[in-house]
Amino acid sequence: MSINPIYDIVTERVDDIPLLLTQMIQMGIVELLDANLEAHGNWNGLSLGWTTAIWLTHVLSQADHRV
């Protein structure tokens, strides 16, 4: 006698933003930009590499280059 167990299947959506940002981190874009771009003297907060990576993630996610 075979008993078939009942499984609860939960489907969760994986959005593109974490995937794009993770790919950019693995490619070393943040470090590359930080090594080659110099921030203005009054720049505070995130580095230029992180700011550019997050902005690029937004542009690719929205498929729209307008601000």
In sequence order, the 6+-apart residues with CB closer than 8 A to the CB of 16 are 60, 61
Per DSSP, the three-state class of 44 is coil
| Mean pLDDT along residues 1-19 | 79
Where does residue 51 fall: left (phi above 0), alpha (psi -120 to 50 degrees), or beta otherwise? alpha
Asked if residue 8 has pLDDT above 70, the reply is yes
Count how many domains the chain has: 1
Residue 9 domain-assigned? no
Instruction: Flag whether 28 is in a domain.
Output: yes
Domain that holds residue 45: 16-62
Which strand (E) or helix (H) includes residue 17? helix 16-27
Question: Is residue 67 situated within a structural domain?
Answer: no
3 in a structural domain: no
pTM of the model: 0.70
Whether residue 22 lies inside any domain: the answer is yes
Find the largest Cα–Cα distance for the chain.
76
pLDDT in tens, 16-45: 999 999 999 999 999 999 999 888 888 888
Asked if residue 11 is part of any domain, the answer here is no
Determine, yes or no, domain membership for 1.
no
